[in-house]
């Protein structure tokens, strides 16, 4: 059984004391493919080191996270563009719009999101979308950019069934993580109406740990609890969930 974590920040400072042990715990749980989203240029070297240390298991993305779209965002976008032109990445991400923390940066977040979608199209890469309190704004951009060259993952999907179908209409898979195990997460109430071919697994470690670890540091090994929840929702085995979602990740990332 191969399990794929399509979104995990393994380079996070939260793992500085036990990174190798934490990754071994995941490998012991059959989680052997880790896709690593970028945040901003300050983490690039840490990402490269992670790839060097675990070359068979770690696959990097490049992008500017919407909460890090600040006054220097054009310099950061130049960094993203330079990196994409210099070496192999498997996606442009994580990118998008976040209005939970700061609504005043909406305009430059939109600009950064559109610019990075264009970079993804240029390099024929998927995008990995971060959306928080911004479904309408995200869909507005996707509507402008839609086409056969736009595809990717709607990371940490927490919307409604209607929003799920809309996301799928833009060639997105839904990234399902710890939220599906929360009592108030809501997505577990309709997820069975979404075909498994549209689902990928993720942790967003060190954030959003699933039950029974909610509120604690998340790690990639905990994806097994997401797997178990989806097995219950869809009424199929863990092995089948792992197989289908890993194949879906291969379809997106080309690996």
C-alpha separations of 166 from 169, 171, 188, 245, 250 in Å = 5, 9, 18, 20, 22
Q: Which of 14, 16, 8, 61 is nearest to 32 (CA)?
A: 8
Handedness of CA 252, 205, 83, 118 (dihedral sign): positive
| Predicted pLDDT at 234 | 98
| Predicted pLDDT at 170 | 98
| 0.95 exceeded by pTM | yes
Question: CA-to-CA distance for 58 and 211, rounded, in angstroms?
Answer: 25
Average pLDDT over residues 224-229: 98
Question: CA-to-CA distance for 152 and 114, rounded, in angstroms?
Answer: 14
Average pLDDT over residues 79-104: 97
| Predicted pLDDT at 205 | 98
Question: Please, are residues 120 and 127 in contact by the beta-carbon 8 Å criterion?
Answer: yes
Question: CA-to-CA distance for 176 and 207, rounded, in angstroms?
Answer: 13
The fold for domain 3-253 equals: TIM Barrel (3.20.20)
């Amino acid at each position: 059984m191969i399990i794929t974590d399509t979104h995990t920040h393994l380079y996070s400072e939260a793992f500085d004391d036990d990174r190798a042990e934490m990754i071994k715990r995941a490998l012991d749980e059959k989680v052997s493919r880790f896709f690593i989203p970028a945040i901003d240029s300050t983490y690039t070297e840490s990402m490269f080191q992670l790839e060097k240390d675990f070359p068979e298991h770690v696959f990097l993305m490049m992008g500017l996270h919407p909460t890090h779209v600040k006054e220097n965002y054009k310099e950061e976008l130049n960094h993203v563009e330079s990196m994409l032109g210099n070496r192999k990445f498997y996606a442009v991400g994580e990118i998008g719009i976040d209005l939970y923390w700061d609504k005043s940066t909406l305009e430059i977040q939109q600009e950064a999101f559109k610019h990075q979608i264009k970079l993804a199209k240029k390099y024929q890469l998927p995008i990995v979308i971060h959306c928080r309190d911004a479904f309408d704004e995200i869909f507005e951009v996707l509507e402008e950019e839609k086409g056969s060259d736009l595809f990717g993952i709607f990371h940490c999907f927490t919307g409604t069934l209607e929003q799920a179908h809309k996301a799928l209409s833009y060639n997105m898979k839904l990234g399902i993580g710890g939220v599906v195990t929360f009592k108030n997460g809501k997505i577990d109430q309709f997820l069975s109406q979404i075909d498994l071919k549209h689902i990928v697994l993720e942790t967003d470690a060190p954030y959003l740990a699933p039950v029974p670890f909610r509120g604690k540091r998340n790690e990639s090994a905990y994806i097994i609890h997401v797997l178990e929840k989806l097995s219950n929702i869809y009424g199929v085995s863990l092995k089948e969930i792992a197989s289908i979602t890993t194949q879906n990740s291969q379809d997106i990332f080309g690996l």
